[in-house]
Structure 1
Amino acid sequence: MRVVHTEAALLNAWRVTRREAQNPFGDDVVYLERFLERPRHVELQVLSDAHGNTIHLGERDCSMQRRHQKVLEEARAIDIDAHSLETLRAAC
């Protein structure tokens, strides 16, 4: 994986990555994703019953991770704007 910040760096990384993929796999197809500088991993605890009634019990910030495993879960999620939290809650 490579993170690039300029168009020139992207073109160079594209060429290098295709070569690296071709050698061991015989296929130079690569996959691109947008890199998020400071992503947040926020979870909502949701409780529902057999009748379709649903409530949320609160949210927690699980952004602190190591090797894709949560190191710390912080309840309530702080530093998240009220509009984003309301949007998440309304989805329940």
Structure 2
Amino acid sequence: MADDKLSKAHDLLTQRDWEAVNVTHIVQRAVSPFAAEADSRFEITGPDVEISAERALQLAMVLHELATNAAKYGALSKLTGTVKIAWELYV
């Protein structure tokens, strides 16, 4: 299952020729296997920002681990639980 989630991030990077990737797209792909009802279980907010391919893979791995823990022990282990993922851009 972990390989499947990471392969989705890898697919996105391949489609983008290993260039910068939008954070929102990485987040959405990382949580999609955990989100049967993605619109109601996940609140994803943040500015439109792109990160390097290397950072995108790192982010996908972190999100996978956090989503797995939420599914086993946290908010996603309950029918009414929700997860909020938000980021900000500081310049």
Q: TM-score, normalised by structure 2?
A: 0.25
Greater helix fraction, Structure 1 or Structure 2: 2
Q: TM-score, normalised by structure 1?
A: 0.25
Greater RCO, 1 or 2 (C-alpha within 8 Å, sep 6+): 2
Greater strand fraction, Structure 1 or Structure 2: 1
